[in-house]
Amino acid sequence: MASLKDLRNRIASVKSTQKITKAMKMVAASKLKRAQEAAESARPYAERMDKVMGALGQSVANLPGASPLLVGNGQNQTYLVVVATSERGLCGGFNTNIVRAAKRRIDALLAEGKDVKILCVGRKGRAQLQRFYGNRILDTVDMGGTRYVGFSDAARIAERVRVMFDEGVFDVAVLFYARFQSALTQIATEQQLIPVPLPDADQADGLLDAGGDAIYEYEPNEEAILDDLLPRNVSVQVYRALLENAASEQGARMTAMDAATRNAGDLIDRLTIQYNRTRQAVITKELIEIISGAEAL
């Protein structure tokens, strides 16, 4: 049985941990509002741009000279899987859920005979994927020094992906991240970056005319606009994913630290009861010894 000193030390240790988890919960809650607003603000633009690019790709898919960023390079053999996770832990199943979704997709591609290469954004994703696909990881983008995600961070990652595509490193790029729904719920999401995914009938509504062509007028000309718009679309989608991840991470961390704080409180209560019972037993034993000694005299 644990001694009184051991129990006191353990109670003090758990109380210290409880203070830390409570402070981390408050910090995450203060960061969550800003991150959530940024993620929700970026959604309409990113979603609309993705639909426009998809409709445009559908209208020019069979035309010669169409940009590979829009319609692909004609091959479907090598995939680049971009896995965006966090740099820090203590955020529940946030990172694990993203990696699990990416792992399912990678395993399915490998089963189909495809070649898979991985680009990790964040150290936590790499740490988990390293065990299964160490030789397939090309590199890791370190986001540790980034306090708030900016468009320049996303543009840097998107430029890296575009350069690899231009060099023929892969044929198709897909991105995995966590879409923020609430502090309790973050949905692991897969999105195709390159080429732009073609929309279905519902998504194309209002973007295509009766003949299935995109409803656009180009000014000054189609080439000049697409040369700027297509690379920007990749950056916008990456930026949206990073913002969603930032909000999801804070929501998951707040929830995890709240649960840890409550669990620490429950453990303190149980240890306190055990301490009081042990102390009472020690006192009772001492009293019995004193009474027994007095009767012996």
Residue 225 has pLDDT above 80, yes or no: no
CATH code given to domain 22-197+215-254: 3.40.1380.10
Active-site residue flag, 91? yes
- Domain residue limits, the chain: 22-197+215-254
pLDDT digits (tens, 9 = 90+) for 77-104: 999 999 999 988 889 889 999 999 999 9
Instruction: Yes or no: say if 85 and 122 are a contact pair by the CB < 8 Å rule.
Output: yes
In the block, residue with structure tokens 């989608």: 237
Q: Is the pLDDT of residue 213 over 60?
A: no
Query: Global pTM?
Result: 0.84
For residue 125, give the nearest of 159, 97, 104 by alpha carbon: 97
pLDDT in tens, 269-295: 999 999 898 888 888 888 888 888 777
Q: Which of 133-137, 212-216, 246-250 has the lowest mean pLDDT?
A: 212-216
Across 157-161, 196-200, 215-219, least confident range: 215-219
Question: Which of 24, 69, 80, 91 is labelled catalytic?
Answer: 91
Q: Which residues contact 109 (CB under 8 A, 6 or more apart)?
A: 79, 116
pLDDT (0 to 100) of residue 211: 52
| pLDDT score, position 73 | 83
Name the residue type at position 58. Answer: Q
pLDDT tens profile 53-81: 777 777 666 667 677 888 788 888 999 99
β strands within the chain, DSSP E:
78-84, 115-121, 137-141, 172-180, 186-194
